[in-house]
Each structure stands twice: as structure tokens, then as C-alpha cells.
Amino acid sequence: MKVAFFSSQSYDIEYFNRYNKGHELLFHEASLQESTVNLAEGCEAICVFVNDKVNAAVIGQLKAKGVKAVALRCAGYNNVDLEAAKASGMRVVRVPAYSPYAVAEHTVALILTLNRKTHKAYNRVREGNFSLDRLIGFDLNEKVIGIIGMGKIGEVFAKIMIGFGCRIMAFDINSNAEMEKIGVTYVQLEELLGIADIISLHCPLNDQTRHIINTANIARMKTGVMLINTGRGALVDSLAVVDALKSGKIAYLGLDVYEQEETLFFRDLSENIIADDTIMRLMSFPNVLVTAHQAFFTDEALSKIATVTLQNLSDIAEGKPSPNTVI
Ligand code: NAI
């Protein structure tokens, strides 16, 4: 199958070429949008990542070029207009779980860094500053972790935090008896917000969860709360969070995703003037840690993303049903 890859990075090329056995893969650095659809000319499928825009206009143009399938090399599919894809007869496949461990472990890395300030200690010690001033943290033991979205990633994260001696509260539209058996308590969102010392977002982005962290819900949180988002940027109203950081309501913020990340993440902008005032304001706080959508970024996850995506493409080429079909 001839496949046009959008938003390709060096690691995509390395891992997909390593596992490819017969597809013709054309790697493009450009992200997918209406102005770049032409790169899919002559291809039967496209392969996209989290910030490629597969909207109705793009789908219409893809269909006109004879593209029959969209292979997402990620789990989330909030960037695809599924109704438009369905109406066009376009197949959409994804990688539902490449490594929940990668994302859950990165979530823990954000928590530990924000709490114990190892990023600051690293720099201090290298400059000969062995003072402990302002590096004080808190024990995770017995703290309440509020997990919004107890799916594959939320479960792994909960198990790790139970190992730290934390109490786990979860809000999800479905409860999981297995998680209850190991000590997870399912509560309503309002209760979780009011009791959690650390709140971590692991639900998908959809109409119900967009800006689930907004001014009203922040007001329900404990003063001094730590908020971590490794889910999707738009789960959080960034301007509401800036206000809460200024007032001290949120005392620690860890973000691996950001609402406007498509104009920033996955590229080196170190010599550019960044026009997004909200991310610049967020990054100016000493108690904010931002990583650029790297939670998934492990060797195991990249291998799984490549092998599952290539199998999804083979299934489509052979007209077989795929267990990873979105529509
Ligand atoms: P999953 O589908 O296994 O779990 C999602 C959970 O959220 C489910 O238990 C579901 O019932 C729950 N949920 C759905 N709607 C909800 C609502 N309105 N309120 C509360 N809970 C709700 O997904 P998984 O694999 O755990 O991934 C979760 C999210 O993490 C993905 O949707 C994706 O956006 C994000 N992600 C981020 C990555 C990164 O590199 N930062 C990498 C992979 C995923």
C-alpha cells in the first residue's frame, strides 16, 4: 500500500522503516491540513498523528484523490471528523494502546519533578550551589490522587501511585470492579475535585470533557492542589489555570499537552519569537513544568505504534476487518 505520512519526525521514519515489510511509505514533515493534502496524491492511505487536522474539508479532498483510509499512529482520534469520514466511506484505524506504561510513568515523572524540584537541584548543584533553600517537597504517602478517566493509562497510573502509599479517587463514566478491589474509590467529579491533593487527567477529549478543568471546577479544588494533564490540551481552560496559578489555588502544574500545541510542539522554535502569550505566561511560573507531548515517547511505545499501524494498513490492503477500527 502506498501511504503518505504527515507530521513525520526522524523517529517515525526510523521505527516505521525498521518494521515495514512491503508498504510504500512516503514521509512528509508537513502536518496535514487543507493546504498540504496534495502530498497524498497517488496514495491509498494516509498516516497521521495527534495534531494533524482530518476535518470534513480535508476528508473531501482526500476522497477526491482516491485515498481510502486514515491510519492514526496514536490512540486519540479527536482530530478526525468521524461523521465526515463515515459519509465518505473512509476507513479510520488507530493504535488503541501502545504503552499505557509510557504515559503513566511520564505522569509520575512530572509529579516527582514538580514536588521534589529535581530539575532545579540538578542545575544548582552543577553551579556549586549545595543549598536546600526552596527545594522543600512533600511526602506522596497518604496523599489523595484524583484520577479523571480510569482507563488503560489511568489504571497503570493508579497502581503506581498505590505503590507510593497514596489513596486513589477516580471519576469515570464507567467503574471498574477490578480497580475497586485494589483500593480505588469511584466518586463524582465534584467530590474528587474537593478532596484530591493531586489531580491527573486521563480521559479522552470529547464534548463532555472539553474544558473539564474550568474556572468553576478549579474553584472546587483544594488550595495548593497539583494539576497534571497528560491527556489532551483542551481538557484544560488554560486562561482559567493562569488565574488559579496567580492566586495560588493551583500550586503546581504539569502539562504534557496544551490546547494550542499544534503551532508549537514537535518542532524547534528556540530561535523564533513565540506569539502564543498564554504558553509564555504559563512557562513563566516557577511551579509550572511543560513537556512537549512526550509522555508516549519510549522505545516500546514507538515499536508498538509502528508495528500496529503497519498491521492496520495490511488489514486494510487485504480487505480484512481490523480490531483497531474506529469507523
Ligand atoms: P482509555 O479509552 O483506555 O480510557 C479512557 C477512560 O476515560 C475510560 O475509562 C472512559 O470511560 C473514561 N471517560 C470517557 N469519557 C469520560 C468522561 N466524560 N468523564 C470521565 N471519564 C471519561 O484511554 P487511555 O489509553 O487510557 O488514554 C486516555 C487518553 O490519554 C487518550 O484519550 C489520549 O487523549 C491521552 N493520551 C496521551 C498521550 C500522550 O503522549 N500525552 C499518549 C496516549 C494517550
pLDDT tens column, 84-104? 999 999 999 999 999 999 999
State which ligand 1 atom lies nearest to the alpha carbon of 297.
Answer: 40
Residue-level pLDDT at 242: 98
Phi, psi of 84 (to 5 degrees): -65, -40
Catalytic entry in 73, 94, 106, 293: 293
What is the 175 CA–ligand 1 centroid distance (Å)? Answer: 14
CA dist., res. 104 & res. 293, Å (int): 13
CA dist., res. 90 & res. 41, Å (int): 16
Residue-level pLDDT at 243: 98
Residue-level pLDDT at 115: 98
Task: Indicate if 23 belongs to the active site.
Answer: no
What is the 230 CA–ligand 1 centroid distance (Å)? Answer: 10
Residue-level pLDDT at 44: 98
What is the 205 CA–ligand 1 centroid distance (Å)? Answer: 8
End-to-end CA distance of the chain: 20
Q: Report mean pLDDT in 10-residue bins for the chain, 327 residues.
A: 98 98 97 98 98 97 98 95 97 96 98 98 98 98 98 98 98 97 98 98 97 98 98 98 98 98 95 98 98 97 98 97 96
**Residue in the block written with cell 509522555:** 295
Task: Indicate if 232 belongs to the active site.
Answer: yes
Phi, psi of 219 (to 5 degrees): -60, -25
Residue-level pLDDT at 211: 98
Catalytic entry in 91, 232, 259, 262: 232
Residue-level pLDDT at 261: 95
Question: Quick one: CA torsion of 79, 80, 82, 83, rounded to 10 degrees?
Answer: 90
What is the 269 CA–ligand 1 centroid distance (Å)? Answer: 29
State which ligand 1 atom lies nearest to the alpha carbon of 209.
Answer: 18
CA dist., res. 200 & res. 220, Å (int): 15
Our answer on whether the CB atom of 218 is closer than 6 Å to any ligand 1 atom is no
Give 86-91 contacts, CB < 8 A, sequence gap 24+.
86/327, 88/59, 88/60, 88/62, 88/63, 89/63, 90/59, 90/62, 90/63, 90/327, 91/316, 91/322, 91/325, 91/327
* 3-state DSSP assignment of residue 287: coil
State which ligand 1 atom lies nearest to the alpha carbon of 171.
Answer: 20
Residue-level pLDDT at 72: 98
What global pTM score does this model have?
0.94
CA dist., res. 289 & res. 235, Å (int): 17
Our answer on whether the CB atom of 261 is closer than 6 Å to any ligand 1 atom is no
